[in-house]
Structure 1
Amino acid sequence: MTGIAAVTWSKVQAAPATIAETQAYALRQLDALAEKMERKAKIDDLATTAKEAESMVREWLAVLARCFQLQGAIAVLELDRVLDASPEELDGHRLGLKPA
């Protein structure tokens, strides 16, 4: 076998769930920051809150970007695994990954 070893695959196959949980958490954090800003009635308060939130927003967006990168990497590993196990199913699996 030239692709992903069974031991390696067993260690990473649960990663998509962890990545999805991390994405959901980051989105909740961004939503909470947005709600905090929406509650501000005065423009000065909004400006202060936005300035305070700027670095946190940047960090959560970086987390989301990394999650997307990891999802892509996992998809490549999945395709490599399918190629090793059932090459005839590769195209179907590849097409199935697109909407996911």
Structure 2
Amino acid sequence: MMKISLAKYGGQTAGMLLGRAPRVLEADTLPPPAAQELARLVETAKATAAATGVGLGRARDMMSYTITVEDSGHQTVLKQSDTNMSPAFRNLLGWLERHMK
């Protein structure tokens, strides 16, 4: 089954995030409709590249995010930041933020 981890870096809380383990979500612990929605969001984010040319200046409070997806022995790592986040990545990140404890 699918396992997803979320790590955050930077921003105003950078010092508080140092050394903090990524949050992890096991898809098989979700109700079937939520697991299906998560799978759809993951596939869409994997198929969509980060935005380019957006916010090219350095933002002091910029956060970076790493979403690691482990599924059927394969690992996919998605990395984006506040300045280059695609809508698909933003949707997945938002869903994870709401469902991870």
Query: When the two structures are superposed, what TM-score results if normalisation uses the length of structure 1?
Result: 0.30
Higher strand share: 2
Mark the structure with the bigger radius of gyration.
1
Query: When the two structures are superposed, what TM-score results if normalisation uses the length of structure 2?
Result: 0.30
Q: For CA contacts below 8 A with separation 6 or more, give which structure has more relative contact order.
A: 1
